[in-house]
Amino acid sequence: MKVKDKIVVFLRKYGAEYMFPGITPYRFLFAMLLSGIICGAIGYMINMYICIMAMVSGAFAPILIIVISNNSDNEAMMSDIESIYDILRIQARAGIFVQDSLMDCYMMTANKRLKSALMELCNKISTKCTMEEAVSEFNNKFSNRHIDVLCIVLNQSQTSGKTVQILSDMSEQIRQVRHAHSLKEKARLERRIEVVELLIFIGVIAIGIYSMGTEIARMLND
């Protein structure tokens, strides 16, 4: 695969094409070059010895931003993906074909990036694209292991009799992941509150010590 093709795959899977419609590999490389030059110039103004380091860091900054943004998107999609698994599982148990359930999945999805991709998936399935082709294009828009599994299920749903069980297992797995993430966020918030309380306590003590020192100094001067 050529470098240009690899950049296209990266931009598509990590959501850059959704965030910046019309972006091309050349525009992305130009953004990296421009970011590197700007950071290098800032580094040179601070200290000429860190100019090269700042330039290299700046050049890779757009990649880091896209990766962080994709990770944030993946977290934001978790509730929607769980709901998609539930809808597909319930309707598959009722005997409704998976491809017919995808429009309901689209209707209930809140995340804009996922919703847009689902709409394209539904449109392609309703046209001349095969299920496999449409799902492959949908999967190429994400770097998300839960969506990877979802796409495998969609492809196997027409031949496998275990679709409902797989969807149930994945739905439960996502619930566990979301629960673990919720506990982690709760612990992180509690730590932040403890740090703030500690800083306030230290501030109160510092004010008290300063007041006492001022008062003692005044008494000694008198």
Residue range 152-156: mean pLDDT, rounded:
81
Alpha carbon distances (Å) from 173 to 32, 88, 145, 165, 206: 38, 15, 12, 12, 49
- Report how far residue 178's alpha carbon sits from residue 172's, in angstroms, rounded to the nearest whole number: 10
Residue range 133-148: mean pLDDT, rounded:
91
- Residue 196 pLDDT > 60, yes or no? yes
Residue written as token pair 């005997």: 95
- Residue 156 pLDDT > 80, yes or no? no
What's the CA angle centered on 191, arms 189 and 197, to 5 degrees? 105
pLDDT given at position 67: 93
For residue 184, the one-letter residue type is K
Write the CB contacts of 217 (distance below 8 Å, at least 6 apart in sequence). Answer: none
Helix axes 3-13, 51-93, angle to 10 degrees: 60
Q: Are 28 and 3 in contact (CB under 8 A)?
A: no
- 88-114 confidence digits (pLDDT tens): 888 877 777 777 788 889 999 999 999
Residue ranges per structural domain of the chain: 3-176
Three-state SS letters, the chain: CCHHHHHHHHHHHCCHHHHCCCCCHHHHHHHHHHHHHHHHHHHHHHCHHHHHHHHHHHHHHHHHHHHHHHHHHHHHHHHHHHHHHHHHHHHHHCCCCHHHHHHHHHHHCCCHHHHHHHHHHHHHHHCCCCHHHHHHHHHCCCCCHHHHHHHHHHHHCCCCCCHHHHHHHHHHHHHHHHHHHHHHHHHHHHHHHHHHHHHHHHHHHHHHHHHHHHHHHHHHHC
Residue range 123-132: mean pLDDT, rounded:
82
pLDDT given at position 209: 74
